[in-house]
A and B are shown apart, each in its own frame.
Chain A
Amino acid sequence: MRTFILRRLIYAIPTLIGVSIITFAIVRLSPGDPIRLYTFGARDITNEDIEALRRVYGLDKAMPLQYIDWLSRVVRLDFGQSFIYHKDAGSLILEILPNTLQLAVVSLVLQILIGVPLGVVAALKRGSWVDGLVRVFGVAGHAIPAFWLGLVLIIVFAVQLRLLPSQGMLTVGRDQWDLFDRLKHMLLPAFVLSLTGIANYSRILRTETLDVLGQDFVRTAHAKGLHERTVVFVHALRNALIPVVTALGGILAALVGGALVVETVFSWPGIGRFTFAAAIAKDYPIIQAGTMIASVLLVVSYLLRDIAYAVVDPRIKVR
């Protein structure tokens, strides 16, 4: 196991370097001048001032030099000063990261809490309308545009039913630690994020449960006096572990990407929205930091998934 992890970590290095090159190229080769954009309203600012600012941010050097400069600092975890916030871009992103992580965690919980039972029920009721519905949802869940679903849910739950808030993380005046308030705000965006996961898991669990149901050992266990339900649940869940863990990888990518859109619709202050706003304002250090950190997160989560995969050894799968 240890060599496995070590090997994966070493392989991750060239990947991350590749990511850094792509990130840097996308940002720095883009048209437009961030300094000009930034100083657009400043009265009487002279061209010399603008050139001076350019020098301060290191934007006057040749591109490869800028890259090497940036990379050497990134390795020391110095992502450069944000043009707009005048603070280290990396620490800004890390400050906001927990907000997105909260959303991701709640979303994952919802995916499993809703997806797994749905799949099991569908299998148990194979052929019924419940089954049909779940199967359709298994495909339809991927086809619903997340931003649109968010809007519809806001209309229904926030505007018409007034049950849940429509945006933000906390109500004004409530304390940071008011978990109830925070959960209220998190429910809708986390649900939207969890949709594809729910669709996936319901499908997987349905297949696995059906599989298990058709096995001989079920009848044997039944004959032995064990409850069919227990047998089904335990074995189906166990067998489903592998595909579920596999599905996790794709879901994590979807979470980071989808989070951006959902965060925008719900005004959730997460790194997706933050990096996006920085992209529009051409705040290079934040865009670079945000993309790098998102990629690192993804690589780490793939690694975790693979470790989990190895742990959930096929030999455990009961047939």
Chain B
Amino acid sequence: MATTTATLRGTVADTLVRPSRSLWSNAWWKLRHDRLTIAAFCMLALLVALSLAADLFADNVFNYSFSRQDLLHTYEKPTFSNLAYLLGTDEIGRSQVVRLLYGGRVSLGVGFVAALVNLTIGVTVGLAAGYFRGLVDDVFTLFVTTLNSIPTLFLLLIIAAIWQPGPFTLTVVIGALFWTGISLFTRGQTFALREREFVVAAKTIGARDRRIMFRHILPNILPLIFVLAAIDIGAIILAESALSFLGLGILPPTPSWGNMLTGATQYFVRAPFLVYPPGVMIFLTVLSLYLIGDGLRDALDPRIRG
């Protein structure tokens, strides 16, 4: 990795850690020419924008709030005649298309926030374990091995079933379960980096451990962590939708792409058109995230020439 240049500048200035230009501009160039990743990014941006604009759409275009029921118009087939019925109505007459837009908020919101919690825990713990080694690392290994021995999704579903937490608690719980992969990766990278000259140099001039971890090591790992983050968010969105589908995550009337399908087992014979949209949205969102993650990884891989 081209951190040597950074090292020299870092030692001299003691506060600056500027990444080498060649890796970054290389990565950026690769990204700009990776059409698939750009497309994925645009898709994700579109989905986020739609979710954020849900209010605007609901009020001005569809004239229907997400919780409005109309028991005289249940299971309406999708039609262009009434925009609110664009994707049909569900078992109590709520507009699918409006709920789909709001559902994005929940699914994306939980995804990003939980991923943030994930990253915070995972990176911090991984850095500490990789940097300090010894006892800290042993405890870390024991804990992570234990956590990894219980199937994660299974554990999440059981916890949700027993504790039946509200949405915020749930987000935190999800965040607290999916961090092991990130921490293992961070730890591995920290192992490698701590032997490097710039760390040794920083130590020599008396920099504190915390500073070394967060100001010197972390910035070098960060881009790769973003790759993990993208995949992480995708996995979390899938987990949350499974939870909501089972009736445990986000509860109606708040729509989430998962809980829009909770009743699917009730109505898939009568109204199959209700089953497809939420799943497609989840799929598109997670797919874009995975493609972005893949693209970022390829871009940052120095072995792959642009």
Contacts and interface: CB of A to CB of B under 8 A. Distances in A.
Check A-B contact in the complex, CB < 8 A: yes
B153 interface: yes
A155 B265 CA distance: 10
A38 to B, nearest CB: 14
Interface stretch (B52-60, B85-93, B154-162): B154-162
A22 B147 contact: yes
Given A30-B162, A31-B163, A264-B246, A143 B290 contact: yes
A299 B156 CA distance: 18
Given A15-B146, A26-B159, A279-B161, A257 B276 contact: no
A294 B289 CA distance: 30
A154 B287 CA distance: 23
B286 A260 contact: no
Main secondary structure of the interface of A (DSSP, over half): helix
Interface string A253-270: 110111011001100000
B142 A14 contact: yes
A310 interface: no
Given A145-B238, A145-B242, A257-B152, A275 B158 contact: yes
A147 interface: yes
A260 B278 contact: no
Nearest to B162: A30
Given A18-B146, A155-B268, A294 B154 contact: yes
Contacts of A26: 155, 158-159, 162-163
Contacts of B242: 145-147, 261
A140 interface: yes
Interface in B254-280: 258, 261, 264-265, 268-269, 272, 275-276, 278-279
A276 B161 contact: yes
Contacts of A139: 287, 290-291, 294
B contacts with A: majority SS = helix
Contacts of B286: 142-143, 145
Interface string B283-306: 100110111001000000000000
B246 A16 contact: no
B264 A276 contact: no
A295 interface: yes
Given A140-B287, A154-B268, A23 B157 contact: no
Contact of B151 (A142, A155, A253): A253
> Which range holds the interface residue count of chain A?
35 or more
A144 B261 contact: no
A152 interface: yes
Contacts of A261: 153, 157, 242, 245-246
Task: Identify the interface centre among B154, B159, B246: most chain A CB within 10 Å of its CB.
Answer: B154
Contact of A295 (B150, B161, B291): B150
Given A26-B159, A26-B162, A261-B246, A19 B150 contact: yes
B149 A295 contact: yes
Nearest to B241: A145
B146 A22 contact: yes
A276 B158 contact: yes
A287 interface: yes
Contacts of B63: none
A151 B264 contact: yes
Contact of A260 (B153, B238, B289): B153
A101 interface: no
Interface in B232-247: 234, 238, 241-242, 245-246
Contacts of A154: 268
Contact of B153 (A142, A159, A257, A295): A257
B136 to A, nearest CB: 17
B111 to A, nearest CB: 13
A66 B103 CA distance: 42
Nearest to A265: B265
Contacts of A159: 268-269, 272
A143 B285 CA distance: 8
Contacts of A231: none
A299 B149 contact: yes
A291 interface: yes
B100 interface: no
Contact of B154 (A18, A30, A146, A291): A291
B24 interface: no
B218 interface: no
Interface of A: 14-16, 18-19, 22-23, 26-27, 30-31, 139-140, 142-149, 151-152, 154-155, 159, 253-254, 256-258, 260-261, 264-265, 272, 275-276, 279-280, 282, 287, 290-291, 294-295, 298-299, 302
Interface of B: 142-143, 145-159, 161-163, 234, 238, 241-242, 245-246, 258, 261, 264-265, 268-269, 272, 275-276, 278-279, 282-283, 286-287, 289-291, 294
18 contacts: A15-B146, A19-B149, A26-B158, A143-B238, A145-B241, A145-B282, A148-B245, A148-B275, A148-B282, A149-B279, A151-B264, A151-B275, A256-B151, A260-B157, A261-B153, A272-B154, A276-B161, A291-B155
- Give 3 closest A-B pairs by Cβ, nearest first: A257-B153, A18-B146, A148-B279
